[in-house]
Every structure is written in C-alpha cells, then in structure tokens.
Amino acid sequence: MKLENPVQSLFALLFGLLFLSPALYSIWLSFQTADAYYAGGLEFTVDNYGRAVGQYHFARYLLNSVIVSGIVTVGGISIATLAAYAFARFRFRGGDLLFGAVVATLMIPSHISLIPNYLTLAKVGLLDSYAGLILPAMASAFATFFLRQYIRGIPRSLDEAAYMDGATSLQVLWRVIVPLSRPAILSMALFIFIGEWNSYIWPLVAIGKDDLYTLQVGLARLYRINPGEGVIDWPLVMAASTISILPVLLGFALVERHLVRGITMGAVK
C-alpha cells in the first residue's frame, strides 16, 4: 500500500509502534538482569536466555511444542482437507446432517469437553504421552467448515475435467483441489499451529511429567520459581516468552505470501 502523505505515514508509524510496544518492551526486558530491573537500573545481559534453556528445560519444552504442534498441524489439516472435500463435493446419505453436526461442535466451549476428554484418555491410558496431547486436537471443525466453503468456490467443472482426463477422486483432490486451495489450506494450517502452540489448559491437565511439558505450561511454571519471596523473575519470563513466539513468527513469515493470493484466475471463462 502506498501512503499518500506524511501525516498518514506518521499515524501509521505511531499506531504500528503502539501495537508493537508490548512485544518490544518484553524483548527489551528479556535482556535485563533481575536485580537491575527491580532496582530500577539498566544492566544488559543474555543470561536469561541461557537460564531459560539450560536451567529450566526450555529446550525440552520447545522440542515438545514443536513435535505436538507440528503433528497436530499436519494431521489436522490433512483430516480437515479430506473431510472438507467430501462435504463439498460428494452427496452421501446423512452428509448434510453430519456436516451440521461438525458445525454445531463449534458452538461448544472447549472447556466443556475437557473432563470427558480427560476421562476418555485416562481410560485408554494415553495421559502423560504425546498421543494424549495430539489426538484430541487432530480434528478441527472450524478448518473443516472453512475449507469446505473454500472448495465449494472452486468450479466443479475443474473436477469434471480431471475425471475426464482419467483422474480418480483422490487424484482430483491432490492434483486439482489442493493446489487451488493452497491459500486457504496454509491459512488454516497456520491457524491450527498457532492454536496448538498457544494451547495451555489441555497440556496442563493431560500432562504431569516435566519432560512432556509444552512451552506454555513451562512458561507458566516460571511464575512460581520463587514462591517464598513473592517476586517473579520478569526478565527470565520475558526471555522464555520471546523464545516461545519465535516459531510462530517464523511460520507466519513462511506462509504469509500465500495467505491472501487467489490463484483460480483463468480457470474458467
């Protein structure tokens, strides 16, 4: 976007800084020592990052979050794409009812399913495991709904042309629908990834072992490291927070250019 005049540019800059200021402040804080912070002084250090990774197992939490969020994203988007394709393109008995049921689950607050999910996983012995973190998050009703709507916007004649060219239903999905839905699929993948990355309640409930904690659970534990003194080591918390947002920023940077671009131009007259 081209800005028309300097006043607009100034406003844009000010608003940008306003929204960025909490993040910038937390990054700045993460490079201070706790003593200097509480004494109101300034003392630069990178030690907080070293402590977060070394002393408080943040490397392990980071790895856990990457594994869980990665598998949930890949698995979740695959399931949602397959389901969305079926709902968008095939007529089968009970299809509309089933889709209605999928959409209806969007209206159920996630905390309501917390206890049933816990009991189910306890019964099958999947608490305190990666599977216990991954499986309940694998099906995304919102992604299914969103992708179904997107796929319905792709001209059906493209599917038919592919069938006439000799494609099977799965080949139509893989060779035609998926490439044309790439912006939507990547948006949803990022959405699922961020949702899982930031997930706190479920990992807190389902995991009791330190070496399976995800970043968010680990981050919350940092608030309690000096319980007796009632003082929180904010520079340490901010260093850990900065570590936790880096993969999300990286993910966004990777898919950002695909998010808004429509590529169906020229398909049909």
- Residue choice 68, 162, 215, 243 for contact with another protein (CB under 8 A): 162
Q: Minimum distance between the CB of residue 261 and another protein, rounded to whole angstroms?
A: 11
Q: 268 by DSSP, 3-state: which?
A: coil
- Is 55 a binding residue for another protein by CB under 8 A? The answer is no
- Residue choice 8, 21, 171, 226 for contact with another protein (CB under 8 A): 171
- Is 24 a binding residue for another protein by CB under 8 A? The answer is no
| Sign of the dihedral defined by the CA atoms of residues 198, 204, 205, 206, in that order | positive
Minimum CB distance to another protein smaller for 16 or for 179:
179
Q: Output the CA–CA distances (angstroms, integers) from residue 165 to 91, 136, 162, 169, in the order listed.
A: 22, 39, 5, 12
Convert 10-33 to b/e letters by CB count within 10 Å (16 or more is b): eeeeeeeeeeeeeeeebeebbbbb
Q: Minimum distance between the CB of residue 181 and another protein, rounded to whole angstroms?
A: 10
Pick from 108, 117, 141: which is nearest to 203 by CA? Answer: 117
- Residue choice 18, 250, 253, 265 for contact with another protein (CB under 8 A): 265
**173, 109 in Cβ contact below 8 A?**
no
CA distance 144 to 131: 22
Q: Minimum distance between the CB of residue 95 and another protein, rounded to whole angstroms?
A: 17
- Is 161 a binding residue for another protein by CB under 8 A? The answer is yes
Q: Minimum distance between the CB of residue 164 and another protein, rounded to whole angstroms?
A: 4
Summarize as ranges the residues that interact with another protein (CB under 8 A).
155, 157-158, 160-168, 171, 175-176, 179-180, 263-269
